[in-house]
Amino acid sequence: MPVPAIGYQTGPGCFDRVKLGFTVGFCVGIASGALFGGFSALRYGMRGRELVQTVGKVMFQGGGTFGTFMAIGTGIRC
């Protein structure tokens, strides 16, 4: 029985790695923003809509910042 020919497989490209680094960093930043922003907003006495808006803003800012730094770090490693 002949052995099937196996072609060379290549891994993900540099741009795919940078995208993955950004995605992972964004998720970590969202989680940390929810924790730290939530506790901070509750400590300031925010409730209701103000609490949700503030925590959402902190989550996306943290996610964007950390995601950007993770993408830069991953790009340097390519």
Question: Does some domain include residue 38?
Answer: yes
Give the model's pLDDT for residue 5. Answer: 65
Question: Does some domain include residue 8?
Answer: no
Question: Does some domain include residue 3?
Answer: no
> pLDDT of the chain along its 78 residues, tens only?
666 667 677 888 899 999 999 999 999 999 999 999 999 999 999 999 999 999 999 999 999 999 999 999 999 998
| Residue 23: CB atoms within 10 Å | 14
Q: How far is residue 68's CA from residue 37's CA, in Å, rounded to a whole number?
A: 19
Instruction: Assign residue 8 a region (left: φ > 0; alpha: ψ between -120 and 50; beta: otherwise).
Output: beta
Question: Does some domain include residue 5?
Answer: no
Q: How far is residue 34's CA from residue 28's CA, in Å, rounded to a whole number?
A: 10
Domain count along the chain: 1
Give the model's pLDDT for residue 43. Answer: 94
Question: Does some domain include residue 26?
Answer: yes
Give the model's pLDDT for residue 66. Answer: 96
Distances (CA, A) of 14 to 22, 28, 70: 12, 21, 13
